[in-house]
Amino acid sequence: MDEADLKALLAPLAMSWWEADTELSVLDGGGVAIEVADRLDDPYDDPYATFADLAPAAAFVRDATGRHLWANHAYAHLYGTTRGAVIGRHLADLDEAGDVTRFLALDQEVLTRGRPVRHTLTYRRADGRPGRAAGYRFPVRWGATRCVAGIYVDVTDYAQVLDQRHRAEADLRALRDHSGLLCVRLTPDGRVSEAGTAVADALHIRLSDLTGLPADTLLARTPERGALHRIWDDLISGRRRSARTCAVLVDRDGWWRRARIHLSAVCGATPGVSGVWAVGTHLGLRHQARPDLTPAQVRILALLAAGQSNADIARTLRLSRQTLDYHLSRLRTLLDAATRPALVARAYVLGILSPQTWPPRSPTAPNPASPV
């Protein structure tokens, strides 16, 4: 774009523009002239006054007594009136007595210190609701008079959203720390960013040591882990917002605990997922890592749990009695269980058999007709 194109682009815009040399002499200018009423007594008789009048930020100038010498349209809008109805009026004509006292005290502070003050103030809107504004107040010269000027942006809606967010975060922290649930927040790369004390207790690990750990180090290498990885990819990519699954947790001593996991993606101010909340429920009993069993041994345990006799099991699996006895002996050693009821109990405690299915079968069995 050359200079001619730029000037052609600026020509129809509702703004004034000018070009100056290094000595600040105007070489060229243009744009659409904007007529602003009540500017006869305005010292800002230049394009900056137009900008200030129409800026979305509320701006004012008043003397040390609190009388408004100038105000823009955005400032008048805060009071539900017009600019002309504000200029020349005292603070007491616009604000409540308590606010007048606060505002005048702040004006005097600015004049005394002689430098800008950045702050947030509360005020009462024209509809009676409380409002909040943030900005600067600073000393200026208005003709021969030392005055106070201010420019503010109404942040009421933003402050309300921020307050709601803080309350929600406080509620979430209370849930995390006092509900007894296993609450963990994970970063998009799968590390623990915050966790509740219940998680640290369940995993026999200090809370300070838990923060920053990769979540994978807290999961047993079971078929549920692979399923959890697939769900995680869906959550981080945005294909899913939440999911429920099961996982086997590993504590600092190497013992296992089965839990149901509820996963919820957290979307931040920027696009994409900023993290994932994982909440564990139905925490199982703490037990040692289950031994590696053959499919035949898992079938034997499932049939034992169904109440079949040794003869029935041998016939169902087409095994000789000697072979079945060998497997039962191995299972007693592997599971540290001396009797048939103890074998079944250990199979459920270790998660070898699912406690929620009948006939008994492995949690990873592909269908109800298959025990493994």
Query: Residue 367 is part of a domain; what is its CATH number?
Result: 1.10.10.10
- 60 and 146 share one domain: yes
Phi, psi of 232 (to 5 degrees): -60, -45
Q: Which of 28-42, 127-141, 257-271 has the lowest mean pLDDT?
A: 28-42
- 271 and 297 share one domain: no
- 127 and 180 share one domain: no
281, 313, 336 — which closes off a domain?
Answer: 281
- 226 and 205 share one domain: yes
Compute the CA torsion angle 138, 142, 147, 151 (nearest 10 deg): -40
Q: Which of 150, 164, 174, 128 is nearest to 71 (CA)?
A: 150
- 188 and 138 share one domain: no
- 185 and 253 share one domain: yes
CATH assignment at residue 277: 3.30.450.20
Question: Is the residue at 197 inside a domain?
Answer: yes
The CA-based angle 182-185-188, given to 5 degrees, is 140
- 141 and 85 share one domain: yes
Question: Is the residue at 274 inside a domain?
Answer: yes
Contacts (Cβ under 8 Å, ≥6 apart) of 267: 273, 274
* Cis-peptide, bond into residue 359, ω within 30° of zero: yes
Asked if residue 34 has pLDDT above 60, the reply is no
Question: Is the residue at 88 inside a domain?
Answer: yes
> How much of the chain, in percent, has pLDDT values that exceed 90?
24
281, 308, 342 — which closes off a domain?
Answer: 281
Query: What pLDDT, on a 0 to 100 scale, did the predictor assign at position 96?
Result: 86
- 265 and 338 share one domain: no
Residues spanned by the domain of 99: 34-154
8 Å CB contact between 156 and 135: no
Question: Is the residue at 28 inside a domain?
Answer: no
218, 247, 281 — which closes off a domain?
Answer: 281
- 256 and 311 share one domain: no
> Could you tell me whether strands 145-154 and 182-186 are parallel, antiparallel, or unpaired per DSSP bridges?
unpaired
- 249 and 344 share one domain: no
State pLDDT tens for residues 50-107: 777 778 888 999 999 999 999 999 899 888 889 889 999 999 998 888 889 989 999 9
Asked if residue 160 has pLDDT above 90, the reply is no
Q: Tell me how far apart the alpha carbons of residues 214 and 288 are, in angstroms, rounded to a whole number.
A: 22
Element (H, E) at 176: helix 156-178
- 71 and 139 share one domain: yes
- 182 and 135 share one domain: no
Average pLDDT, the chain: 81
Number of domains into which the chain is organized: 3
8 Å CB contact between 199 and 210: yes
The model's pTM is: 0.47
Looking at residue 40, its amino acid is L
> Could you tell me whether strands 273-281 and 117-124 are parallel, antiparallel, or unpaired per DSSP bridges?
unpaired
Asked if residue 166 has pLDDT above 70, the reply is yes
Residue 309's pLDDT band, with cuts at 50, 70 and 90, is confident
Phi, psi of 280 (to 5 degrees): -95, 135
State pLDDT tens for residues 128-141: 778 888 888 999 88
Asked if residue 263 has pLDDT above 90, the reply is yes
Query: What pLDDT, on a 0 to 100 scale, did the predictor assign at position 69?
Result: 93
Residue 319 in tokens: 């095994």
Looking at residue 97, its amino acid is A
| Mean pLDDT, residues 119-134 | 79
- 104-107 LR contacts (CB < 8 Å, sep 24+): 104/66, 106/137, 107/62, 107/64, 107/66, 107/137, 107/148
State pLDDT tens for residues 199-228: 999 999 998 899 999 999 999 888 788 889
Question: Is the residue at 100 inside a domain?
Answer: yes
